[in-house]
Amino acid sequence: MGSLNTALTGAASALDAFQYALNVSQNNIDNASTPGYAKQTASLEADPFNPALGLTGGVSQGPTVDSRDPMAEADVWQQSSAQGAATAQSDALTDLQNALPTSDGDGIPGALTNFFTAVSAWSASPSDSSTAQSVIDAAGSLAQSFNTTAAAVGSVAQSVSQSIGDTVSQINGLTGQLASLNASVENGGQQDAGVSAQIYSSLETLSGLVNIQVLPQTNGAVEVTLAGGAPLVIGTQQFQISSSPVAAAASPPIDTSAPAHAAIYAADGTDVTGQIASGTLAGQLQVLNVAIPAVIGDSAQPGALNELATQVAADVNGIVGAGYVSAGVPATGGLFVPTDPNHPDSAAANLALNAGMTASGLPAIGIENGSSVPNGVPLALGALASTPTANSLLGDNSYTAYYGNTAAEVGSQLNQQQSNQSLATQSLAQAQSMRQTDEGVDLNTEAVNVMQLQESYQAVAKVVNTLETLTQALINMMPTS
């Protein structure tokens, strides 16, 4: 009778173990497509058998083995961060490129062409008031084109700045989730594959926004910092980051009211902008703090668009202002309102036509070698289309070439980031595939496991039934008093 009880006890423990293994496989199947889930493997352990000590043997469940591979996860985070940076830059640089039209009939290039076309017509009929008025009108359109382009670039800057704020909010939202999930782990969720899946799904999303370092804890929780060490999540405590405008480093600044950069601060107020090396946030910072100021300026530089506006106004005003309306009657001013030297970063936005200039007041007579030239002013203006003036802010470039180079630089950066984005997307897909190989659920394998475990369970169940039948038979054979 004792042997039957021992066998029955062992068989019952085997049933429990197989049921546990079945539950693990079924959980894998149910969560095969759950983000962040890593397959679990049931481990079975042989129980010691020593009847003299009351050890009945059998099989019992061991610890559930998690397949998560820290190296595979880190590779995915790295590639996700690279993709985030390239995508953010591609998106913002596309908007910046669209703000700088390059077709001859559009934007500043088109306005320059129209201006010099009007000047050419005026040079053929310098005493014709209608052609003179056309020059004034074209100059007004040129100023407006600079204003419009500056506003478009400024709008891109505003949009990127807003996106930075949104990204910071997303980062803080995710680190808050991770702190809460850590709390769940510490409150008894150490072996909860669902909590672990949520943690690693959040980490992958976070890695796309900013470069992170992750230190897994033995209990399943994680510590998260920026690459430079600034804490984001330690235990159940979240450390929020923030963004704030800051002037570009310049000594002295060219304009204290110039457009600001964006800086990122840790929870303790430390500037951690330098720690943001990749991810969406890094890409947005690169465009706002580097690419856009190169075009529209900041407190450290006037920006190419403003240099162009300043040079155009200075050159045209210099020629027109030195001309004569008629013999002995000098010009009373230039075509444009002079740009403000105290605000060189806003020359394009504020370029304006001289409202006092009229067709009758536009001087056509120029002075060359002490002698008057009847159409000297329009001829000199026409030469500006291809010949840079001495000591030009634009170097050896004509107006259109300088503008074209500025737009081309943005286009070059965009092409590079689009290439980076494509490469990062491929690398991320490869890293995710390798992780899937290590951690993912193979439904075919799990289906085979389930079938084998079910057969084993049924076989042991038959043994249990047989043992129960034998036990009952023995009981029935025992004499009754």
**HEC-encoded secondary structure of 399-445:** HHHHHHHHHHHHHHHHHHHHHHHHHHHHHHHHHHHHHHHHHCCCHHH
pLDDT tens readout for residues 90-106: 999 999 999 999 987 88
pLDDT tens readout for residues 290-304: 999 999 999 999 999
pTM, 2 dp: 0.85
pLDDT tens readout for residues 15-50: 666 666 666 666 656 666 666 676 666 666 677 766
pLDDT tens readout for residues 247-283: 887 778 888 888 899 999 999 999 999 999 999 999 9
pLDDT tens readout for residues 102-160: 987 889 999 999 999 999 999 999 999 999 999 999 999 999 999 999 999 999 999 99
pLDDT of amino acid 17: 65
pLDDT tens readout for residues 330-366: 999 999 999 999 999 999 999 999 999 999 999 999 9
Closest CA to 123 of 364, 438, 287, 312: 364
pLDDT of amino acid 469: 66
Share of the chain above pLDDT 70, in %: 78
Closest CA to 15 of 337, 459, 361: 459
Residue 405 sits at φ, ψ, to 5 deg, of -65, -40
Give residue limits of the domains in the chain: 2-67+442-477, 72-303+398-432
Is pLDDT above 60 for 244?
yes
Report yes or no: 196 and 220 within 8 Å, Cβ to Cβ. Answer: yes
